[in-house]
Amino acid sequence: MSVTSGINHAKQLKLNRALVIDSLRRQQCCSRAELARMANLKRATITNIIGELIDSGLVVETEILNGTKGHRSIGLRINGHRYQVIGVMVTRTSYSLVRIGLSGEVYEVQSQSIPPHLGVDELILDMERSIKHMIEENHESRIMAIGVAVPGPYLQREGEVVFVTNRIGWDGFPISARFQDAFDIPVLLVNDANAAAYAQYWFSSEDDTRRNLAYIVAGQGIGCGLLFDGELVQGAMGIAGEIGHTSIDYNGPKCECGNRGCLELYCSSLALEKRVRQRLQEGASSCLGENFSTQELTAAIRAQDPLALEEYRKNCEYLAVGIVSLINQFDPGTIVIGDQLAQMAPKVLMDTICRQLKDRLRPAIWAELHIEIDTMEHNSIAMGAAAMAARSILQDPFGYLNAEL
């Protein structure tokens, strides 16, 4: 055998192995025969690959499965109890950790608030301690990788956040290097909207209706993760999808990004709170006091306080303008809206946005569009960060499992 043919064989084996593992992950539990059919591989190839994976502990045999014509077979599943990853989401006010198995089952969720004046360096140290504590307390499994989702435009190559609105110290902070230095396992840094978009696809068993999807993070900032044909669109520098920094008023207020009239300045939760406070100071009637909390504002919107509800609807209308531009530029089949703004009053948000979209789009485009509120049980951003970490392992598991082979 030539060197070239040997390399090609190894590469093909790696691809087949990744294909089998991904098929098993999507199916959760299935037989060798089902895997051969889904992966379109010979039974002998499946037998060899599964044998390797069972020997490594990544795959285990489970209960007997009933097949067609009375045939029975041994079930297979990924050993998520033994091999796991951690997903991390950091926002301007809190961070969350989620520990999941490589096949997606959730084992642990934690959240921690961030004091308003905590610096970036101190925040990263606190996050590192929380992650290490989760790893140390998890005696029965091996953490294979960590995924960290960060807000704001994230430069993939440099490993730095460009900036985070209303937060000092993030600009140019070497966040990727810091996490890589703190752990002896792979750490994957991703943009929060990209993580949320990927979660919608990965945890739906890669449903075909979600292969072309836009996930809008509508919270203290506005971001968008884009999936086309099941793959994330990140752009040359990793900042694709930053719809919060597209201008809807070229003479509008100056944004921290350098642009004027950015969408984020009109429809983020921070913009909503700012407008409500301004109107209260001008003497507008409301059940809210000037020092209201986000929770109190949410309660006022749900109680249909006239001022709070009016400004919330205005936020939704501004967001709809951004979504129209997104549709006309990128043509996603499905749009999912999540985060703080969507959680405040989901029905009001959906009614307002759908009314605006129907009015602003061509009927043929509106008829084909699917738009929904994020309904994942656990936070999509943290889950997406974990899913992307798991995917990096499953694409080349033996690259990480050599110590156990």
Q: Which CATH number do you get for residue 107? A: 3.30.420.40
Task: Let me know: does 248 contact 261? Beta carbons within 8 Å.
Answer: yes
Q: What is the CATH number of the domain that holds 67?
A: 1.10.10.10
Task: Let me know: does 138 contact 146? Beta carbons within 8 Å.
Answer: no
Listed residues 78, 101, 131: the one ending a domain: 78
Q: Check residue 118 and give its pLDDT.
A: 87
Torsion of CA 232, 149, 249, 356, to 10 degrees: 70
Torsion of CA 208, 210, 213, 216, to 10 degrees: 180
Residue 85: which of 195, 164, 230, 11 has the closest Cα?
195
Radius of gyration of the chain (CA): 23
pLDDT tens string, the chain, 405 residues long: the values are: 444 555 577 788 888 888 999 889 988 888 888 888 888 888 889 999 999 999 999 999 987 777 666 667 888 999 999 999 999 999 888 999 999 999 899 999 999 999 888 889 999 999 999 999 999 998 889 999 999 999 878 888 888 888 787 778 888 888 999 999 999 999 999 999 999 999 999 998 667 778 899 999 999 999 999 999 989 998 888 889 999 999 999 999 999 889 999 999 999 999 999 999 999 999 999 999 999 999 999 999 999 999 999 999 999 999 999 999 999 999 999 999 999 999 999 999 999 999 999 999 999 999 999 999 999 999 999 999 999 999 999 988 887 776 444
Give the span between the Cα atoms of 50 and 100, in whole angstroms. 22
Same domain assignment for residues 224 and 334: yes
Same domain assignment for residues 190 and 106: yes
Task: Let me know: does 124 contact 174? Beta carbons within 8 Å.
Answer: no
Q: Check residue 405 and give its pLDDT.
A: 41
- At 290, is the secondary structure helix, strand, or coil? coil
Same domain assignment for residues 233 and 283: yes
Same domain assignment for residues 109 and 233: no
Residue 334: which of 245, 239, 225, 240 has the closest Cα?
225
Instruction: Render the burial of 109-122: b for 16+ CB within 10 Å, e for the rest.
Output: bbeeebeeeeebee
Q: Check residue 101 and give its pLDDT.
A: 96
**pTM, 2 dp:** 0.90
CB neighbours of 342 closer than 8 A, spacing ≥ 6?
Answer: 218, 349, 373, 374
Angle between helices 380-394 and 3-27 (to 10 degrees): 150
Cα distances from 104 to residues 26, 46, 266, 376, in angstroms, run 9, 22, 36, 13
Residue 151: which of 395, 382, 389 has the closest Cα?
382
Same domain assignment for residues 227 and 351: yes
Q: Measured between alpha carbons, how far apart are the two ends of the chain, in Å? A: 26
The DSSP 8-state label assigned to residue 30 in this structure reads B
Strands (DSSP E) contained in 263-402 are 334-338, 370-373
Task: Let me know: does 130 contact 97? Beta carbons within 8 Å.
Answer: yes
Same domain assignment for residues 27 and 58: yes
- Show the domain range for 291: 207-375
Listed residues 78, 99, 123: the one ending a domain: 78
Task: Let me know: does 338 contact 373? Beta carbons within 8 Å.
Answer: yes
Taking the CB of residue 69, how many other CB atoms lie within 10 A of it? 4
Task: Let me know: does 333 contact 213? Beta carbons within 8 Å.
Answer: yes
What's the domain count of the chain?
3
Same domain assignment for residues 47 and 169: no
CB neighbours of 303 closer than 8 A, spacing ≥ 6?
Answer: 287
Same domain assignment for residues 99 and 61: no
Same domain assignment for residues 239 and 326: yes
Q: 73 is written with which tokens?
A: 């077979």
Please work out, in degrees rounded to the nearest 5, the angle formed at the alpha carbon of residue 234 by the alpha carbons of 180 and 128: 25
Listed residues 78, 106, 136: the one ending a domain: 78
Task: Let me know: does 182 contact 126? Beta carbons within 8 Å.
Answer: no
Same domain assignment for residues 70 and 109: no
Give the span between the Cα atoms of 384 and 199, in whole angstroms. 4
Residue 86: which of 10, 162, 4, 147 has the closest Cα?
147
Beta strands at 154-155 and 334-338: parallel, antiparallel or unpaired: unpaired
